[in-house]
Amino acid sequence: MRESIKGFVKIIADTLPIVEPIYEFGSLQVPGEEGFADLRPIFGGKEYVGCDMQEGPGVDRILNLHNIDLAAETAGTVLIPDTLEHVEYVRRAVEETHRILKPDGILVISSVMKFPIHDFPYDYWRFTPEAFKFLLKAFTFCFVDFAGVQQFPHTVVGLGFKSSVPKDCLDDFRTKFERWKDYWHGPAGRSLEAFVKSVVPPIVLNLYSRIRYGRIRRS
């Protein structure tokens, strides 16, 4: 989980009509991210189900995105933050989320583009904004954008709505999103070190540090 994505999710929680229950896929808080990767507090006590393919901190249910063991129109909101790059059959996974969402449900996705390979357990893909638009075609309305340099962004984000969204909510979201996008474009007055720490998950930084300073024996 990256600080930038937590900020993106908070904008969604603050501006859009969030429907319950909320299902997060990829909710396992890996070593080094316990607590930090918990998105539940952002949604102010709403019904929240953390899902992953293995047990661990942050996981309430074991569910497979390729074949989600939930009835149609069960979920109000589905979050897949920085997880799709680890999903083997991405199109199938998004189709499954569309199936389980209620008629007024929302899908929230984010992923990395300009980013190191990171295995949890496997790292398959990098997405462009056009790829996200393709994945969200089945939705009545979608929003796709990015953060970083236009020709090589570090992050791509998307929203899929199964029905229309109130214009005032969408306008509020877009205003706050543009501020988020400007802030996460680059260092923007911050040191490069501080920026990197903000956009890279702590677990990846920790692994890099251990390799860089010789705490992992090279084979």
pLDDT at 200: 60
pLDDT tens, position by position, 179-190: 999 999 975 434
Q: Is the pLDDT of residue 214 over 60?
A: no
Number of Cβ within a 10 Å radius of residue 28: 20
pLDDT at 193: 46
CB 132 within 8 A of CB 144: yes
The ranges assigned to domains in the chain are: 3-212
Percent of the chain with pLDDT over 70: 84
Distance between CA 112 and CA 107 in Å, rounded? Answer: 17
Using H for helix, E for strand and C for coil, what is the string for 12-35?
A: HHHHCCCCCCEEEECCCCCCCCCC
Tell me the two tokens of residue 208. Answer: 């890099």
Element (H, E) at 151: none
CATH code that applies to domain 3-212: 3.40.50.150
- Over its C-alpha atoms, the chain yields an Rg (Å, rounded) of 17
pLDDT tens, position by position, 62-92: 999 999 999 999 999 999 999 999 999 999 9
Tell me the two tokens of residue 157. Answer: 């984000």
DSSP summary character for residue 177: H
Per the confidence metrics, is the pTM higher than 0.75?
yes
Q: Is the pLDDT of residue 207 over 60?
A: no
Taking all residues of the chain, what is their mean pLDDT, rounded to a whole number?
88
Tell me the two tokens of residue 82. Answer: 């920085």
Element (H, E) at 146: strand 141-149
